[in-house]
Amino acid sequence: MLINKISKIAGSVVFASALAFAGTAQADKWDMPMAYSASNFHSATGAEFAKCVTTGTAGDIEIVTHPSGSLFKGGDIKRAIQTGQAPIGERLMSGHQNENAVFGFDSIPFLATSFDDSAKLWEAAKPTMTKLLDEQNLVLLYAVPWPPQGLYFKKEVNAVADMKGLKFRSYNNATARLAELTGMLPVSIEAAEISQAFATGVAEAMVSSGSTGYDRKVWESLTHFYEVDAWLPRNYVMVNKDVWNDTSDASKNVIKACAELAEYAGNWRSKEYTGFTLTGLRNGGMTVGPAGDALVAELKVIGETMTKEWLEAAGDEGKAIVDAFNAE
């Protein structure tokens, strides 16, 4: 099924590429900032997307990726694209919750805890997110979920009380609020800084996927990973709307086809990477397994509080997304 799907999408790329070859657009270089390491599956998918576009447009548009926050730090990427400092880039969607709570639709605790539910939630949210980004001078190209989020610690944790006072790495409003409600101390740390933060004691715990922990070799500092499947946040690739409007129709067709392929491949890779990275954490010496029933029960109560708060902050748009998700 995967091969058939990729072949079908690849056929679209070939067709769009033929149109682009016939065009006369001047060669243009698009620098693409990305927050995560080159080895991360999101970055790998982005690199393949960039190559697809470069090849498909016969070099009329050359996309060059810059992983690990090397061009712009994660928190600065969206603003850089909006203002034209870079034409295209990738960012964690929920990283913008401080601008608008609706951006955090994918970080509502225990709402969508599987890949199937994540896909349903994205289907419900995509029209709203596309419109919201358009209003911010951005065009949505594709989005890919992370594996389910679990809890990392440097000690055994059986109850929320065991978390009190720990320095907790936060990457969006939801993770900062989770820290507050569990008695931990939120510390904002970008993905590229995770290894150093844990090694130096700046952070002692986090909620993230097995992928992030594996990529950053957190077993060098942490000991436990608890599978709680709290949510599946999404990274997305955006392009500056002015740049997009100045792009030829032929090249747009290539980019859209490559984006469709990247989204499909990224989703597949995220699913496959889940088991692989958890095995990697175990091989690194970490204790990996489901959280205990008592801890899960406490976390779900906290999740109910966070869900209520998010719905109040996100207003009618947020409620419409959740209602559409629940109706399917």
Task: Supply the pTM of this predicted model.
Answer: 0.89
At 12, the pLDDT band (50, 70, 90 cuts) reads low
Residue 31 corresponds to which tokens in the numbers above?
């620098």
pLDDT at 328: 64
Cα(292)–Cα(304) distance, rounded to whole angstroms? 19
pLDDT at 59: 95
Please name the amino acid found at residue 199. Answer: A
- Mean pLDDT, to the nearest integer, of 132-137? 98
- Mean pLDDT, to the nearest integer, of 111-123? 97
Report the CATH number of the 150-230+276-327 domain: 3.40.190.170
pLDDT at 27: 77
Average pLDDT, the chain: 93
pLDDT in tens, 181-217: 999 999 999 988 999 999 999 999 999 999 999 999 9
Distance of CA 136 to the CA centre of its chain: 19
> Has residue 102 got a pLDDT over 80?
yes
pLDDT at 117: 97
pLDDT in tens, 288-315: 999 999 999 999 999 999 999 999 999 9
Residue 110 corresponds to which tokens in the numbers above?
């225990």
Cα(133)–Cα(152) distance, rounded to whole angstroms? 32
CATH superfamily, domain at 2-146+234-273: Bacterial extracellular solute-binding protein, family 7 (3.40.190.170)
Residue 293 corresponds to which tokens in the numbers above?
């029933």
Task: Give me the residue spans of the domains in the chain.
Answer: 2-146+234-273, 150-230+276-327
> Has residue 6 got a pLDDT over 80?
no
Whole-number percent of the chain with pLDDT over 70: 92
Whether 2-146+234-273 and 150-230+276-327 share one fold: the answer is yes
pLDDT in tens, 250-288: 999 999 999 999 999 999 999 999 999 999 999 999 999
